[in-house]
Amino acid sequence: MTVTLTGAGAALPERILSNHDFAHLDTSDEWIVQRTGIRERRRLAEDASLAELAALACERALSDAGVTPQDIGHVVVATSTADRISPGMAVEIATLLGIDRPAAFDLSAGCSGFVYALDHAIATIESGRAEHVLVCGAEALSRITDHTDRNTAVLLGDGAGAVVVSKAPGSLRPTFALGSDGTRIELLYVGQDRLMRMRGREIFESAVDAMADHTELVLKQSGLSPDDLDLFIAHQANARIVQAVARRLGVLGDRVFLNVDKVANTSSASIPLALAHAREQQLLSPGAVLGLAAFGAGLSWGAGIITWRAPAAGRGMTGPAADRGGR
Ligand code: UT7
């Protein structure tokens, strides 16, 4: 028995902002696309509930996994923009879904939050305390955006993604590596004014180094090579960052997933949104080996290897790893 992802779901606010909607900030579609790959992002209405959007993503993930709310005893939500300071959104999301009195809490680790939450979910299942854990990343970054600052305003989007993490047959044990460095908090933070400040150029290189190094580390710990990854999903902050990490790893072409063009940087919602969009595009087959990597405020980072569901019966692992007889 091991632990796999068994379902994924996404939910985006309806309102779309194109790059042209930021022309008043002395920027251009050309600059934004060339420097980031972003073409549009979603915006949650000011009076809308992020918990409701997140619950929709969770409902879709549960339905994708074929898991009922009664099967869920733990709900973890990664976010830095919850509807209330306290309680976190997990309790409200669980109630909206009809999950009866689960362990439910929010976790704040910047853009790395989802990877931290996933690591926690895996540990909970591996310790025998749950069979299925619901993990959600949800952000309304528009609530903490300085809408007059072109350095950040064009980069950020709102949205929610969720996965179901389950005990499942299979032979590849998930491997995660997490880290942080509090000596560089000032590079990316949200202060008492509740506005995000970022020194993007300085973050760029650290993000590439940390995500590449930690993905290499978890691959090594799993006894895998980059060739064994069926899909690499990194935090979607900037297409150039994702491509630089992928180049360092030697993972190229359609094994590198990108949806930053459609959703921009959604912080802790980024990886679960990407997983759900990869699922919608039928890029996840049973047994697919996924590499995940994130980097953000803290500074914090994390990378992990996990499979999408159990390999189809009698078929062993899919992808290049199958040639090695599974793991
Ligand atoms: O999500 C968690 C972690 N966050 C990240 O990973 C973000 C990391 N950083 C980045 O993605 C990139 O550094 C940015 C997209 C933020 C910036 O791209 P860059 O290629 O690193 O540009 P830069 O910082 O070197 O700035 C180039 C120029 C600057 O002007 P000067 O100083 O060269 O005259 C900026 O003022 O571009 C200017 N600039 C803009 N120009 C037009 C910054 N933002 C904009 C803008 N439109 N929106």
Ligand 1 atom with minimal separation from the 22 CA: 48
Distance in angstroms (rounded) separating the CA atoms of residues 84 and 76 = 16
* Residue 315 pLDDT exceeds 70: no
Mutate to test the pocket of ligand 1, among 17, 20, 28, 35 (most ligand atoms within 8 A of CB): 35
Q: What is the pLDDT of residue 324?
A: 35
Task: Specify whether 111 is catalytic.
Answer: yes
* Residue 148 pLDDT exceeds 90: yes
Q: In the predicted model, what is the mean pLDDT of residues 79-103? A: 97
Exposure of 306 in the CB half-sphere (CA atoms within 13 A): 29
Q: What is the pLDDT of residue 171?
A: 76
Mutate to test the pocket of ligand 1, among 38, 151, 301 (most ligand atoms within 8 A of CB): 151
| 264 Cα to the center of ligand 1, angstroms | 14
Give the model's confidence band at 297: pLDDT under 50 very low, under 70 low, under 90 confident, else very high: very high
Average pLDDT taken over every residue of the chain: 94
Residues with Cβ < 8 Å from 311, sequence gap 6 or more? Answer: 170, 286, 287, 317, 318, 322, 326
Ligand 1 atom with minimal separation from the 28 CA: 47
CA 122, 125, 131, 134 dihedral sign is negative
* Residue 323 pLDDT exceeds 60: no
Which helix (H) or strand (E) is 104 found in, with range? strand 103-107
3-state SS of 42-98?
A: EECCCCCCHHHHHHHHHHHHHHHHCCCHHHCCEEEEECCCCCCCCCCCHHHHHHHHC
* Residue 102 pLDDT exceeds 70: yes
For Cα atoms 178, 3, 112, give the angle at the middle one, nearest 5 degrees: 25
* Annotated active-site residue in 74, 214, 235, 277: 235
Give the model's confidence band at 59: pLDDT under 50 very low, under 70 low, under 90 confident, else very high: very high
> By alpha-carbon position, which residue is closest to atom 10 of ligand 1?
200
Ligand 1 atom with minimal separation from the 296 CA: 2
CATH number, domain 175-319, options 3.40.50.150, 1.20.1050.10, 3.30.70.1350, 3.40.47.10: 3.40.47.10
| 28 Cα to the center of ligand 1, angstroms | 13
Instruction: Look up residue 307 and give its two tokens.
Output: 């499979």
What CATH fold (topology level) applies to the domain 2-168?
Peroxisomal Thiolase; Chain A, domain 1 (3.40.47)
Q: What is the pLDDT of residue 322?
A: 38
Task: Specify whether 235 is catalytic.
Answer: yes
* Residue 267 pLDDT exceeds 50: yes
Distance in angstroms (rounded) separating the CA atoms of residues 19 and 3 = 40
Task: Specify whether 136 is catalytic.
Answer: no
Q: What is the pLDDT of residue 2?
A: 94
pTM to 2 decimal places? 0.94
The residue ranges of every structural domain in the chain are: 2-168, 175-319
Distance in angstroms (rounded) separating the CA atoms of residues 292 and 120 = 15
Give the model's confidence band at 311: pLDDT under 50 very low, under 70 low, under 90 confident, else very high: confident
Q: Is the CB of 151 under 6 A from ligand 1?
A: yes
> Which residue is it, tokens 């959104």?
89
2-168 matches 175-319 in fold: yes
Q: Is the CB of 150 under 6 A from ligand 1?
A: yes
